[in-house]
């Protein structure tokens, strides 16, 4: 059974359409939802949590979200970025209001997280750093025994050290508590460290939903001396760089030895696939 | 639902929601349009909605294990509770005023006397505000100003109507005016009518608000 299954999630705005987004998160896996700003990552997460009225179906551990909303929400821990709520209230006041919603709330576990994350309950939310806000949101989400963590850009705004710490915490949670994680980000170095699977979204459409290794093995980065060389092999998303041109090629493609190739990183894959998409869109509109 | 109500009280109440309850003592001010006391209650709702917005409360609440329709319902139940308290306090303090002040000081030159009819009028005012404000507010909880301004204009218009009635109709200027001990039956009927109107308007407001909130994208 998958931790999360999203089928044909669709939301139409005047300027943007989330177009039949489908993917799944395996139990005990960390899935990274990636894409550029405005690609539809947050809309997808809001659609999953029914914060927006979207079409399509969502099931969590085999339970339909709409039919069993209350039960499903008990198993989800949602971390929307940092903790942007109730800036003037103390952490204790928020916890007191939050905990009664969850019959499975574990106060000793919460206190353990507070001490592990070095959070002081008498502090107000506005007194916390961005990193501490994320930790507080995590402490709340995990103390009611959430089995699926859904996080919307939890690492944006964090310094590299805090991001590293965050990744360690997530890895520890997956290993020790067996939670499954879906988190959106555009910081690909975080994904390289912790993600098992990748869901790549562009202009509201899923371009890839597969294990991270599979995506990385799909392409290689080719360096060309001229645009004509790149066109000759139909390179994907060719763009000018400091010395010549770069583009993606399918990894299994046989090419001349004169073309230098290296392993493609997630950044390379996103940049060139986005460029290819933009070019196709441009041609279509003309 | 009880947890949502507790959360509302703990995290979303602006201090004025409680402070303005004490404005019920304004019934001791001589020659004052006492219906204005209920406008302060409406003003406190505006401040609470501002606080809800600044705290990101609605997005936070929607992620909790509650149904979406429970969120506006819980908020409105808390407001109805506060409104019932102000109605009750005005009624009680008005009765105290009637008991302790000489009858000539009880006469109000600016509107109806502080009596049961005033409580009925207050109930109509609050019900009207609920009907106008909440369905508009829950259509887009980020925009509080326009629903409040429309609600406040209508509330002051209805207050004006009550003041005019006090001076131009014998029913209001004599039968329903003055101490509770005079024409108690008629005053009780006026109070009951006010409460029924409040209940109906608030129930309609609740239904419309829930319907509008279901369509909101956060």
The confidence band for A228, taking pLDDT boundaries of 50, 70 and 90, is confident
d(CA A65, CA A73): 8
Q: From the list A46, A51, A96, which residue is nearest B10 (CB)?
A: A96
Which H helix or E strand runs over A221?
A: strand A219-224
Q: What is the mean pLDDT of residues A200-225?
A: 87
**Higher pLDDT among residues A118 and B196, named by residue:** B196
What's residue B134's pLDDT? 95
What's residue B178's pLDDT? 78
In B137-166, the residues whose Cβ lies within 8 Å of chain A are none
What's residue B71's pLDDT? 93
Q: Give the position of tokens 């020790």.
A: A176
Collapsing DSSP to helix, strand or coil, A209 comes out as strand
Torsion of CA B59, B61, B67, B68, to 10 degrees: -40
Q: Give the position of tokens 């039960």.
A: A71
Tell me the backbone φ, ψ of residue B199, rounded to 5 degrees.
Answer: -65, -45
Cα–Cα nearest to B124, from B190, B32, B204, B26: B190
Count of CB atoms situated within 10 Å of the CB of A92: 12
Q: From the list B11, B65, B68, which residue is nearest A97 (CB)?
A: B11
Q: From the list B7, B10, B218, which residue is nearest A51 (CB)?
A: B218
In the sheet that holds A245-250, the strands lie side by side as A236-240, A245-250, A219-224, A260-263
In A106-135, the residues whose Cβ lies within 8 Å of chain B are none
**Chain A partners within 8 Å of B47 (Cβ):** none
Q: From the list B55, B65, B218, which residue is nearest A85 (CB)?
A: B55
| A20 phi-psi bin (left φ>0, alpha ψ -120 to 50, beta other) | left
Beta-bridge mates of residue A222: A247, A261
- Partner-chain contact A78 B214, CB within 8 Å: no
Tell me the backbone φ, ψ of residue A116, rounded to 5 degrees.
Answer: -65, -40
Query: From the candidates A15, A45, A51, A102, which should be mutated to test the interface with B, based on the most B CB atoms within 10 A?
Result: A51
Q: Is A93 on the interface with B (CB under 8 A)?
A: yes
What's residue B123's pLDDT? 95
Q: Is A44 exposed, middle or buried (0-12, 13-18, 19+ CB in 10 A)?
A: buried
- Partner-chain contact A70 B56, CB within 8 Å: no
Residue A282 has pLDDT above 80, yes or no: no
> Of the CATH numbers 3.40.50.700, 3.40.50.150, 3.40.50.300, 3.40.1480.10, which one belongs to the domain with range A2-203?
3.40.50.300
The parent domain of residue B49 ranges over 2-214
What's residue A272's pLDDT? 87
Which regions of chain A carry the CATH code 3.40.50.300?
A: 2-203
What's residue B195's pLDDT? 95
Mean pLDDT, chain A, rounded, equals: 86
Structural contact between residues A85 and B57, judged by C-beta atoms closer than 8 angstroms: yes
What's residue A192's pLDDT? 84
Q: Is B56 on the interface with A (CB under 8 A)?
A: yes
Q: Is B99 on the interface with A (CB under 8 A)?
A: no
What's residue A97's pLDDT? 92
CA angle at residue B66 from B14 to B199, to 5 degrees? 60
**Chain B partners within 8 Å of A84 (Cβ):** 56
Q: Is the dihedral angle over the CA atoms B143, B146, B148, B150 positive or is it negative? A: negative
- Tally: H helices and E strands in chain B: 10, 0
Give A60-116 pLDDT, tens digit per residue: 998 998 888 888 998 998 887 778 889 999 999 999 999 999 998 989 889 988 888
The per-residue pLDDT string of chain B (218 residues; one tens digit each, 9 = 90 and over) reads 888 999 999 898 999 999 999 999 898 888 888 999 999 999 999 999 999 999 989 989 988 999 888 999 999 999 999 999 999 999 999 888 888 887 777 778 888 888 899 999 999 999 999 999 999 999 999 999 999 999 999 999 999 998 888 888 888 878 778 777 788 888 899 999 999 999 999 999 999 999 999 888 88
Torsion of CA A106, A108, A113, A116, to 10 degrees: -170
What's residue B84's pLDDT? 95
**Chain B partners within 8 Å of A74 (Cβ):** 65
DSSP, residue by residue, B117-166: HHHHHHHHHHHHHHHHHHHHHTT-TT--HHHHHHHHHHHHHHHHHHHHHH
Regarding an ipTM greater than 0.90, the answer is no
Query: From the candidates B60, B66, B218, which should be mutated to test the interface with A, based on the most A CB atoms within 10 A?
Result: B60
The confidence band for A141, taking pLDDT boundaries of 50, 70 and 90, is confident
Q: Is the dihedral angle over the CA atoms A94, B55, B14, B36 positive or is it negative? A: negative
Which is it for strands A197-202 and A30-34: parallel, antiparallel or unpaired? parallel
Q: Is B187 exposed, middle or buried (0-12, 13-18, 19+ CB in 10 A)?
A: buried
- Partner-chain contact A69 B64, CB within 8 Å: no
What's residue B194's pLDDT? 94
**Chain A partners within 8 Å of B60 (Cβ):** 85-86
**Chain B partners within 8 Å of A97 (Cβ):** 6-7, 10-11
Six-digit token string for A15: 């300027």
Q: What is the mean pLDDT of residues A131-145?
A: 84
d(CA A21, CA A30): 18
What's residue A35's pLDDT? 86
**Higher pLDDT among residues B201 and A146, named by residue:** B201
d(CA B93, CA B91): 6
Distance from CA of A104 to the nearest CA of B (A): 12
**Chain A partners within 8 Å of B69 (Cβ):** none
Q: Is B1 on the interface with A (CB under 8 A)?
A: no
**Structurally, how many domains does chain B consist of?**
1
Give A187-208 pLDDT, tens digit per residue: 888 888 888 899 999 888 898 8
CA A27, chain centre distance (Å):
16
Six-digit token string for A153: 């850009």
Distance from CA of B59 to the nearest CA of A (A): 8
What's residue A148's pLDDT? 92
User: Does the predicted model carry a pTM greater than 0.90?
Assistant: no
């Amino acid at each position: 059974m998958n931790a999360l299954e999203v089928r044909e999630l669709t939301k139409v705005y005047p300027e943007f359409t989330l177009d039949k987004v489908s993917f799944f998160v395996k139990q005990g896996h960390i899935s990274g939802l990636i894409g550029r700003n405005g690609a539809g990552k947050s809309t997808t997460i809001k659609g999953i949590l029914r914060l927006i009225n979207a079409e399509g179906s969502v099931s969590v551990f085999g339970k339909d979200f709409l039919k069993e909303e209350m039960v499903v929400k008990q198993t989800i821990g949602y971390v929307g970025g940092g903790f942007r709520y109730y800036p003037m209230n103390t952490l204790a006041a928020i916890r007191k209001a939050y905990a009664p919603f969850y019959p499975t709330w574990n106060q000793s576990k919460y206190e353990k997280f507070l001490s592990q994350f070095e959070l002081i309950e008498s502090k107000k939310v506005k007194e916390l750093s961005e990193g501490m806000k994320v930790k507080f949101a995590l402490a709340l989400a995990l103390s009611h025994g959430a089995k699926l963590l859904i996080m919307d850009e939890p690492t944006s705004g964090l310094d590299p050290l805090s991001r590293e710490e965050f990744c360690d915490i997530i890895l520890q949670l997956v290993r020790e508590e067996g939670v499954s994680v879906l988190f959106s980000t555009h910081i690909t170095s975080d994904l390289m460290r912790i993600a098992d699977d990748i869901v790549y979204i562009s202009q509201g459409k899923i371009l890839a939903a597969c294990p991270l290794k599979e995506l990385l093995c799909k392409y290689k980065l080719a360096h060309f001396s001229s645009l004509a060389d790149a066109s000759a092999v139909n390179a994907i998303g060719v763009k000018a760089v400091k010395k010549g041109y770069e583009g993606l090629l399918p990894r299994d493609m046989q090419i001349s030895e004169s073309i230098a190739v290296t392993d493609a990183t997630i950044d390379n894959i996103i940049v060139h696939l986005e460029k290819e998409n933009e070019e196709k869109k441009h041609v279509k509109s003309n | 639902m009880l947890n949502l109500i507790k959360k509302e009280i703990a995290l979303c109440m602006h201090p004025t929601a409680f402070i303005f309850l004490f404005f019920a003592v304004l019934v001791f001010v001589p020659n004052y349009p006492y219906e204005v006391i209920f406008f302060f209650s409406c003003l406190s709702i505006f401040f609470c909605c501002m606080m809800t917005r600044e705290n990101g409360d609605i997005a936070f609440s929607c992620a909790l294990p509650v149904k979406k329709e429970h969120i506006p319902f819980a908020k409105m139940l808390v407001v109805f509770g506060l409104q019932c308290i102000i109605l009750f306090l005005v009624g009680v303090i008005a009765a105290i005023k009637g008991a302790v002040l000489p009858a000539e000081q009880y006469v109000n030159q600016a509107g109806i006397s502080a009596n049961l009819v005033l409580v009925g009028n207050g109930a109509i005012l609050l019900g009207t505000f609920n009907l106008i404000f909440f369905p508009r507010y829950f259509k887009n909880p980020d925009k509080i100003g326009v629903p409040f301004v429309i609600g406040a204009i209508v509330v002051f218009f209805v207050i004006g109507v009550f003041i005019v009635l006090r001076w131009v109709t014998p029913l209001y200027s004599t039968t329903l005016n003055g101490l509770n001990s005079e024409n108690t039956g008629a005053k009780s009927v006026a109070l009951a009518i006010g409460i029924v109107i409040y209940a109906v308007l608030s129930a309609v407001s609740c239904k419309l608000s829930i319907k509008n909130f279901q369509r909101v994208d956060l």
